[in-house]
């Protein structure tokens, strides 16, 4: 045997600095995973339950939609977008009809934007009750007018309990519907 040989049975102990770095690396990795998951849910896929038939036939009660606040970080909400918004602590899912600066009026069941009939509306259903929009509602620089697709069974911007929706109240654009068959994109 050689005088400087090492035995195979001898184990080396890790240095305290190596142990600390390994623990630090593990903790940092876990924190990054949690932060990534939080951002993905909050910005890309916040689940919002549909609680009423106000958006039928597009959405049914009991369904869940995914709402993304990130979509409105790069572009303003557009007409016909389905959005989730919060008013008085309650979350609603409705379709954007009126945009900032426009005047929305409902006469004889038809929606008018700046005195021009909304020809490409998503529903043929006439609104029996014009509510606040009977004389016209002029939207401010950060206000939107929302309606449910089921116009005669919807609490929306025509109602005093909701009224116009401010940009700060909009949680995000609904982009995906979850069903028992799996997720699919909202047209």
β-pair type (110-113, 116-117): antiparallel
Task: Identify the CA nearest to 67 among candidates 172, 169, 186, 187.
Answer: 172
143 contacts 103 by C-beta, under 8 angstroms = no
**Over its length of 187 residues, how does the chain's per-residue pLDDT go in tens digits?**
555 555 555 566 667 777 878 888 888 888 888 777 666 655 667 889 999 999 998 898 989 998 988 889 889 999 999 999 999 999 999 999 999 999 999 999 999 999 999 988 888 889 999 999 999 999 999 999 999 999 999 999 999 999 999 999 999 999 888 865 555 556 5
Q: Which domains does the chain have, with CATH numbers?
A: 48-185 (2.10.109.10)
């Amino acid at each position: 045997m050689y005088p400087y040989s090492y035995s195979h049975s001898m184990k080396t102990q890790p240095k305290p600095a190596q142990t600390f770095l390994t623990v630090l690396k593990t903790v940092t990795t876990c924190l990054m995973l949690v932060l990534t998951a939080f951002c993905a849910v909050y910005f890309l896929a916040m689940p919002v339950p549909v609680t009423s038939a106000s958006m039928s036939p597009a959405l049914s009660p009991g369904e869940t939609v995914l709402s993304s606040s990130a979509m409105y970080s790069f572009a303003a909400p557009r007409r016909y977008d389905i959005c989730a918004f919060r008013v008085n602590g309650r979350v609603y899912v409705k379709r954007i009809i009126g945009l900032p600066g426009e005047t929305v009026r409902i006469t004889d069941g038809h929606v008018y934007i700046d005195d021009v009939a909304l020809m490409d509306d998503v529903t043929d259903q006439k609104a029996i009750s014009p509510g606040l929009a009977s004389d016209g509602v002029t939207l401010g620089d950060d206000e939107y007018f929302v309606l449910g697709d089921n116009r005669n069974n919807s609490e929306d911007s025509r109602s005093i309990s909701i009224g116009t929706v401010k940009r700060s109240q909009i949680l995000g654009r609904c982009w995906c519907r979850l069903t028992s068959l799996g997720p699919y994109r909202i047209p």
